[in-house]
Structure 1
């Protein structure tokens, strides 16, 4: 009976809102970042690589430059760094936190350090001003990686970072199935611009968007999620090979999808903030910000509890994930010989073993929230 019920209800995608196909010319993004240079690229990884190239251009005297990244992060940070000619140096997280241990970060600095990448983790921003004070190295640039976040209100954005990057890939806050953005104070070494696609290319892209929207429905998504051959959601390293223009046909969809993102209700997120604060070790960080979350991040006391909860939630098709599953030095295919470890990464390893995410996108309905909280109450108590 439980199996039949699970099949009839399907599987929630862990992230992903439908793509709005309304077209409009817009300066919606420029109005968020007035007086800043916007460089549109084919991916968030390209935007990050472009920032690193700009930093390297301004410090030609540094041979074999290094960039510091968190020990628990997306492997795309590594591929962007290697593409730009850097050695990625991974540094530990603070205990029971999703951001840097600032003492470990200071120990990771070297004469070759040109940049630090600060992650906005699912909508929980790294404290950039505090980070800058801890570094006490004006020559070290800070890149705020916002691949998992986008401004939740139409108001001017400010940051203490030198560069900001954004992603419009699948499952991102503003989802266009691809594309990236670098926000900077001056022109980067190259300006990819916007690709000019044919009518056929645009038609194929729109068809791809419609197919994606259809697959987001739980009864459709389960065909992908329950197929073991697809290894859906598995974290793997992919070499970055080029920085290209923003994909053809997508520029006209930016405004509509930003506005759609701003209009989404936050019912699931608000419910989890309220009901899970007592068991979530990340609750203080989450509650310090009112920013919209891409997924609800849940850090538990033990690996055993996390694993039991993950199993029960996914048995019922409720879209829980472990995100990256492990520290960056243990991700499949990451070229370990090209990385440098700064000290141990015990906190990051512990974080990876006890962490999971819950979906909060527009497809999460009241009955999904109720079932999720019931499962958590049964497992965690």
Structure 2
């Protein structure tokens, strides 16, 4: 029978960290890392890539920090030491590099800048578990690493996350903060509030897709206190969830190998297609959460997404600029270009060979057929 400590030890070995702590969510792990930093350096600013899940910025606020947003690179959707350095101030306490979609942040030069400036690094590997950068596991580079085992992640348990650390001096601080976390809970009221939060996000993004000049940040940010308790919980000591996490790590190499193979199939069938740019950064990290590409005509992106969904193909357009949602900041040019143009395709087990072939055929049909409508054939 699995225990929390035995699972944490498996995570230690996989990620090359000194100690792993299981948490209720990946967002809880971020909160704990920031509270640990606050205990030794005080609160202040945390630099976050503006192209990421908005929960990173929300949890930073819950922990008493001010999120500051850095632009990302167009070719692989992640920040680097240049975009990070441009946002450093005397109040900067931490940076949160995110290996988005499985694409590796260049951690070595980023760490050099952070060390020179006395800035802590919280490495978000929620979408890159099992991948590596320069031969070292992603999640094991920073002062802290973040993992998530939510329903769509590479290790899917429906709940849970983990905080990784490399330094023994953090352990008593983290343990003290963990003792204050409420127990994990599922209830109809919580589920309804989670749905409300999701709907708010998508409603704001839909408004911005319609008119990017709109300022929706007051609508989005003023509601954040209502959702704090959705993000902060202890790990659910549920035998089913624990078994899924343990099994996910046992099968991690095989799972990632299959995901990379599916990404290669998408890549081969879409290469040379008019109107899009493919990203192949996952080839070096050897991990793919979603196969992400850029469709340069934003109207065509909406057509492609709608056509795929109509034909039973999973597709999403994550993420919109968190800076736009949280503070109305629009002066981050690469992110502003990417937001209305990203298409995410699934690489989990739903995406067998016929599924991928059908998906790529629909994309090509929409982009290469003259006129706006394309064919409805699947």
TM class by shorter chain equals 0.7 to 0.9
Equivalent residues of 1:96, 1:299 under 8 A apart: no
Compared with structure 1, are the counterparts of its residues 369 and 232 closer, same or farther at alpha carbon in structure 2 (3 Å cutoff)?
farther
Pairing 1:30–2:12 present: yes
Name the residue aligned to 1:118. Answer: 97
Which structure is richer in relative contact order (CA contacts within 8 A, separation 6 or more)? Answer: 1
* Structure 1 gaps, min length 5: 1-22, 206-229
Instruction: Provide TM-score, normalisation by structure 1.
Output: 0.73
Residue 305 of structure 1: which of 300, 304, 314 is its match? Answer: 300
Aligned pairs for 1:7-46 (under 5 A) are 24=2, 26=6, 27-34=9-16, 36-46=18-28
Compared with structure 1, are the counterparts of its residues 102 and 261 closer, same or farther at alpha carbon in structure 2 (3 Å cutoff)?
closer
Distance 2:284 2:131 in 1: 15
Residue 240 of structure 1: which of 228, 238, 254 is its match? Answer: 228
Pairing 1:365–2:317 present: no
Name the residue aligned to 1:179. Answer: 160
Compared with structure 1, are the counterparts of its residues 304 and 30 closer, same or farther at alpha carbon in structure 2 (3 Å cutoff)?
same
Deviations 1:16-64 (A, max 9, x none): xxxxxxx64544223224561111111100101111111222213xxx5
Pairing 1:109–2:88 present: yes
Number of equivalent positions? 319
Name the residue aligned to 2:281. Answer: 285
Residue 132 of structure 1: which of 96, 99, 111 is its match? Answer: 111
Deviation, structure 1 residue 152: 5.4
Q: CA RMSD in A?
A: 3.3
Deviation, structure 1 residue 138: 3.9
Deviation, structure 1 residue 233: 9.1
Distance 1:42 1:372 in 2: 35
Deviates more, 1:352-361 or 1:371-380: 371-380
Deviates more, 1:42-51 or 1:144-153: 144-153
Name the residue aligned to 1:257. Answer: 248
* Structure 2 gaps, min length 5: 188-197, 206-219, 369-378
Equivalent residues of 1:313, 1:319 under 8 A apart: yes
**Per the alignment, in what secondary structure is the counterpart of residue 67 of structure 2?**
strand
Compared with structure 1, are the counterparts of its residues 247 and 195 closer, same or farther at alpha carbon in structure 2 (3 Å cutoff)?
farther
Compared with structure 1, are the counterparts of its residues 232 and 277 closer, same or farther at alpha carbon in structure 2 (3 Å cutoff)?
farther
Name the residue aligned to 1:160. Answer: 141
